[in-house]
Amino acid sequence: MLTEIRPPLSEVLSRQALFKGLGPEELALLARGSRELRLQRGEILFQKGDECAGMHLLVMGQIKLALPSPQGTEKVVHMIKAGGTFGEAVAFLDKPYPVNAQATQDSYLVLVDKHILLSAMEASPMLSRKMLASLSIRLHDLLEDMETCSLRTSSQRVICFLNQMAPADKPNQYELILPSSKQTVASQLNLAPETFSRVLGHLTGAGLIQVNGRSIRVLDLARMRNFDG
Amino acid sequence: MLTEIRPPLSEVLSRQALFKGLGPEELALLARGSRELRLQRGEILFQKGDECAGMHLLVMGQIKLALPSPQGTEKVVHMIKAGGTFGEAVAFLDKPYPVNAQATQDSYLVLVDKHILLSAMEASPMLSRKMLASLSIRLHDLLEDMETCSLRTSSQRVICFLNQMAPADKPNQYELILPSSKQTVASQLNLAPETFSRVLGHLTGAGLIQVNGRSIRVLDLARMRNFDG
DNA sequence: AAATTACTTTGATATTGGTCAAGTTTGCTC
DNA sequence: GAGCAAACTTGACCAATATCAAAGTAATTT
């Protein structure tokens, strides 16, 4: 067991991009309205329909947001990574959560009470701007997911995903590590795991990628984008 | 041709829910940064990839937001009705439009310059709150659409839609008028028009609904929700 | 290190919903 | 109101992808 250094909450908050630039008294206010949460891999944070207490800020770890289906399966909507937030839209609307949340890695997060958050926003137009920007990005991403899922074929969806995972300068060749298990990625792309596996097989067969566990090497991005399943 | 009475822009703005409660000087500011637009049914307002000048407010008419597909078809993402806004998320992010917009009815809208809108928000925390709430609702709706489209069968999607169109008190029997053409509704549900037609046929055959053009009478909501393809 | 569990791959089959084509109805234009 | 274009319906067929089953790998626990 590691000896952990646990800094005060206000310091943890001050290090998050969302709260950069807030004054110490605002940070203290937020900290007073916040709770720390620690989850082990696999633990469920909340379920669709639960009451929403506030905004979640993931400091470390990984959280999976997914829609449950009547048959007990689920569709992954979004993977939250360190520094990410979720639940703010739901908190503002006073609605129950529309998704399930489960830790896919041991995680450490902070739950910021919604009332406190609202008063902090009242006091800081900059925080409002950042929240607005963050929601806008979420909306934009969700629309992209919708685009991917509803007007592309299975191969195009996978190619689109590999393309999005490319480094910023988009070299024609690069390596990437899948952010989660293949079944999870498949679910995000609205594919059965078997289909995902087969598509990777086709791309490998066409000499466009090399797969090694969770690591994928893209050999020819330009040609891959034109690949037709 | 009708004789139109054209009230000043600031008055038009003051009547919109989003701007209710703003002071006259803020309204005047917004009005100065706004342009009126009039579109005829069928006219295109903007296309995916166009630069975004600000937030659109639809005062009258109907606008279709849709994702174009490589094959020239499109997937309807959202139908805007009178009083609705769109483009604000894109304006905040300084990104090009992610969708096409086309008038499906003769429409009158106001385009509010993004910089002006941002300064108005700076001045009015209430406006910020409303914008945040509006984006949150959009996000929530989009998630619901995703749910509908990705984990339900064609019949369930149609039933879900008919259910959403029920009056607020959810009586077991009610009548509704489709908000747009059947092909447009079908596209929103991610269905081919033929499939939509067939599903309505099945539901009619099962004695659950009666269809008459764009008017649909739901005869037994409870039983319909349990209907299985 | 062995055992158990979860994840992934591969093959065979089934099903849903899309596509194409033709006919019908609706609604708009002149 | 006649004519035309667009929207809708119906049927036959097809293709994409899910499902089921089984075997093979990797990862985790004990």
The pLDDT of residue A4? 55
Sites in chain A below the pLDDT cut of 70: 1-6
Q: Is the CB of A195 under 7 A from strand D?
A: yes
A-chain CB neighbours of B129 within 8 Å are: 118, 121
The pLDDT of residue B6? 66
The pLDDT of residue A194? 98
The pLDDT of residue B3? 46
Quick one: what percent of chain A has pLDDT higher than 90?
Answer: 86
Taking residue A102's Cβ as centre, other Cβ atoms within 10 Å add up to: 21
The pLDDT of residue B61? 95
Q: Which carries the bigger pLDDT value, residue B123 or residue B34?
A: B34
Mean pLDDT of all residues in chain A? 93
Mean pLDDT of all residues in chain B? 93
DSSP conformation letters of A52-90: --EEEEEEESEEEEEEE-TTS-EEEEEEEETT-EESHHH
Which one, of A30, A24, A21, lies nearest residue A110 by Cα? A30
The pLDDT of residue B7? 72
B-chain CB neighbours of A70 within 8 Å are: 151
In the structure, what pLDDT confidence band is assigned to residue B1 with cuts at 50, 70 and 90? very low
Taking residue B65's Cβ as centre, other Cβ atoms within 10 Å add up to: 22
Question: How confident is the model over A162-206, as pLDDT tens digits?
Answer: 999 999 999 999 999 999 999 999 999 999 999 999 999 999 999
Mean predicted confidence (pLDDT) in B109-116: 95
Quickly tell me which residue has 């596209």 as its tokens.
B187
Mean predicted confidence (pLDDT) in B121-146: 93
Residues of chain B contacting A, Cβ within 8 Å: 67, 69-70, 73, 75, 77, 88-90, 92-93, 95, 98-99, 118, 121-122, 125, 128-129, 131-133, 135-140, 142-147, 149-151, 190
Sheet holding B107-113, edge to edge: B34-39, B107-113, B54-60, B85-86
Question: How confident is the model over B63-97, as pLDDT tens digits?
Answer: 999 999 888 889 999 999 999 999 999 999 999 99
The pLDDT of residue A70? 82
Question: How confident is the model over B189-210, as pLDDT tens digits?
Answer: 999 999 999 999 999 999 999 9
Mean predicted confidence (pLDDT) in B14-26: 89
Residues 6+ apart with CB under 8 A from B165: B176
In the structure, what pLDDT confidence band is assigned to residue B5 with cuts at 50, 70 and 90? low
SS3 B79: strand
The pLDDT of residue B10? 87
| Min distance B188 CA to chain A CA atoms (Å) | 10
Handedness of CA A43, A48, A53, A57 (dihedral sign): positive
| Min distance B3 CA to chain A CA atoms (Å) | 40
Show the DSSP H helices in chain A as ranges. 9-14, 24-32, 88-93, 114-123, 125-151, 154-164, 182-188, 193-205, 221-225
Quickly tell me which residue has 């137009």 as its tokens.
A125
